[in-house]
């Protein structure tokens, strides 16, 4: 009987489950959606009950699709977006919404309601900010928690347990509050490299002196890939898995992707390789044996992804979602059908074949439509389009879409430059996520950044990294890095095109100039 594990990835709108063997081969997968509510601009919310139901549906679906005998599944682990789940002391949902509806008890990762609170926290200059690029992001949990305390006082009094979404799923599965070092180090200002990780003086300074009681914060955390214990009888029944199935401590989704992309590298390899997890948004993960301060880039975080290494985490809050937005804005984009991105890629390929880059020379897009997470750490940054004409034709959409994709790729180059200025020597991207399925975007990242881009042999690096956590948690491997060494082979590599270098160097100079002009214009507001 083979030893199998299940990895569950909870993204922005669905839960995906994959069944893997001990060699990292994906045997079957399934997906189930859940809803997102937007009661107000910059507010985005989920239901934890609905997410758990989607997880159970996806796990059962994957097992059925692979004709897997449930008793073959030895371990399971979860990754999820860095979303905040609010519960009472009995584990029942308590609202995190201005609607007051207890159903909506998850603040989504991309929710920016707490921008003012994030600015206040940044102004404290507390030393915890040294590990978030010196600027607190509204996408992290501490500003969201402060917003809840101020704006939902009745709900605040009811809270008794608050967890990052990954840790919530582990709790639902095991009945145990087994908090991952990854989640609280990266999103809750927990300093995992210190003996006392929670900084009580900081929490008091920002007005969250009662957080440890309201959230039931544990004094210590568990490393990714350690055992959180077996499934409870109830969760085993809901998931359709054996009671003896062990839950491995999980990670934030991007960090799971980082394990899947970087987990088989040594220190020299890590110094020159960037993991990029790109879908709705993009995350850029770099690891080193020594702590590196990179202004505008999150970290350095210790033990938050690979054991014994420090993590720097860059990102772009809107990439795939920005390309969706551009298509939604344009009349032609709204009529392209379900495969509209593939249609655009084909049209761009035809335009490049006919005229190379001249068809888009005078059109530039600064892609900060949802702020700049890295390396400027400016959530108030906005998108800019330069070079529009009185043209609503299909050709105008092709030009705008390509210029946007180029801007997104140059944003990655901007992040790589910041990392290299701080001591890295990034010459290679390992890419996973939805963008890895697009030959257009893969080549753009290689050309824009001037680096090689490799893709995993298994197409879903996030699920694969979580499978490594499951395999380590149930004892198939002694550690998550040992699991990654055996389970994460890299497939094909795409090289930058030498003939494209001049075009992208010129575009990058224009890209940096647009940032300067955008900052100058913002002073007039």
pLDDT band at 375 (very low <50, low <70, confident <90, very high): very high
Token readout for 347 is 């049209």
Q: Can you give the pLDDT at residue 492?
A: 94
List all residues 6 or more positions away from 366 whose beta carbon is below 8 Å from its beta carbon.
383, 384, 385, 407, 511, 514, 515, 518
Q: Can you give the pLDDT at residue 337?
A: 83
Q: What is the pLDDT of residues 243-286, one digit of tens each?
A: 999 999 999 999 999 999 999 999 999 999 999 999 999 999 99
Q: What is the pLDDT of residues 171-228, one digit of tens each?
A: 999 999 999 999 999 999 999 999 999 999 999 999 999 999 999 999 999 999 999 9
Q: Is residue 413 predicted with pLDDT exceeding 80?
A: yes
CA-to-CA distance for 316 and 314, rounded, in angstroms?
A: 7
List all residues 6 or more positions away from 339 whose beta carbon is below 8 Å from its beta carbon.
none
Mean pLDDT, rounded, for 365-370: 96
Mean pLDDT of the chain: 96
Q: Is residue 478 predicted with pLDDT exceeding 70?
A: yes
Q: What is the pLDDT of residues 45-54, one digit of tens each?
A: 999 999 999 9
196, exposed or middle or buried, with CB in 10 Å at 0-12, 13-18, 19+? exposed
CA-to-CA distance for 50 and 269, rounded, in angstroms?
A: 41
- Opening angle at CA 79, ends 298 and 305, nearest 5: 40
Q: Is residue 510 predicted with pLDDT exceeding 70?
A: yes
Q: Is residue 525 predicted with pLDDT exceeding 80?
A: no
Strand-strand pairing, 452-456 and 428-432: parallel
Mean pLDDT, rounded, for 137-152: 97
List the strands of the sheet with 45-46, edge to edge: 45-46, 106-107, 84-87, 161-164
Q: Can you give the pLDDT at residue 2?
A: 84
Q: Can you give the pLDDT at residue 1?
A: 61
The interaxial angle of helices 439-449 and 501-522, nearest 10 deg, is: 80
Which has the closest alpha carbon to 247: 222, 265, 266? 222
Q: Can you give the pLDDT at residue 458?
A: 85
CA-to-CA distance for 295 and 165, rounded, in angstroms?
A: 27
Contact predicate 2/13, CB 8 Å? no
CA-to-CA distance for 14 and 61, rounded, in angstroms?
A: 13
Element (H, E) at 491: strand 490-494
């Amino acid at each position: 009987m083979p030893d199998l594990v299940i990895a569950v990835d909870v993204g922005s709108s669905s839960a995906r489950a994959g069944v893997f063997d001990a060699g990292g081969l994906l045997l079957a997968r399934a997906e189930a959606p859940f809803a997102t509510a937007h009661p107000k601009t910059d507010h985005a919310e989920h239901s934890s009950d609905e997410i758990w139901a989607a997880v159970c549906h996806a796990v059962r679906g994957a097992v059925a699709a692979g004709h897997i005998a449930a008793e073959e599944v030895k371990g399971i682990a979860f990754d999820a977006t860095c979303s905040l789940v609010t519960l009472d002391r009995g584990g029942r949902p308590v609202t995190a919404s201005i609607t007051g509806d207890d159903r909506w008890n998850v603040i989504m990762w991309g929710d920016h309601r707490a921008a003012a609170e994030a600015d206040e926290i940044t102004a404290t200059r507390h030393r915890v900010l040294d590990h978030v690029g010196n600027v607190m992001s509204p996408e992290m949990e501490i500003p969201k928690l402060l917003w809840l305390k101020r704006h939902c006082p009745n709900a605040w009094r009811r809270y008794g347990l608050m967890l990052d979404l990954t840790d919530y799923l582990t709790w639902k599965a095991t009945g145990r509050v087994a908090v991952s070092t990854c989640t609280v180090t990266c999103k809750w200002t927990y300093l995992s490299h210190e003996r006392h990780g929670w900084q009580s003086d900081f929490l008091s300074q920002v007005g969250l002196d009662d957080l440890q009681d309201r959230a039931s914060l544990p004094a210590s955390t568990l490393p990714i890939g350690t055992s959180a214990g077996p499934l409870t009888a109830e969760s085993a029944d809901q998931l359709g898995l054996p009671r003896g199935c062990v839950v491995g401590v999980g990670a934030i989704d991007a960090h799971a992707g980082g394990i899947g992309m970087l987990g088989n590298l040594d220190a020299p390899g890590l110094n020159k390789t960037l993991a990029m997890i790109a879908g709705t948004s993009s995350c850029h993960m770099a690891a080193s044996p020594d702590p590196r301060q990179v202004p505008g880039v999150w970290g350095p975080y210790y033990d938050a992804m690979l054991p014994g290494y420090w993590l720097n985490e860059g990102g772009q809050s809107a990439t795939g979602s920005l390309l969706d937005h551009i298509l939604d804005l344009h009349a032609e984009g709204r009529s392209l059908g379900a495969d509209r991105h593939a249609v655009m890629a084909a049209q761009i390929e035809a335009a490049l074949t006919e005229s190379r880059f001249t068809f888009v020379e005078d059109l530039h897009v600064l892609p900060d439509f949802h702020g700049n997470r890295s390396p400027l750490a400016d959530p108030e940054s906005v998108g800019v389009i330069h070079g529009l004409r009185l043209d609503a034709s299909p050709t105008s959409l092709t030009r705008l879409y390509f210029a946007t994709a180029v801007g997104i790729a140059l944003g990655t180059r901007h992040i790589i430059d910041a990392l290299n200025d701080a001591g890295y020597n990034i010459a290679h991207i390992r890419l996973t996520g939805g963008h890895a399925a697009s030959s257009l975007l893969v080549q753009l990242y290689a050309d824009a950044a001037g680096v090689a881009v490799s893709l995993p042999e298994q197409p879903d690096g996030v699920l694969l990294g979580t499978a490594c956590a499951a395999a380590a948690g149930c004892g198939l491997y002694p550690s998550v890095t040992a699991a990654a060494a055996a389970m994460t082979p890299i497939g094909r590599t795409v090289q930058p095109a030498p003939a494209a270098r001049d075009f992208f160097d010129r575009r990058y100079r224009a890209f940096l100039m647009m940032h300067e002009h955008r900052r100058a214009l913002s002073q007039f507001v």
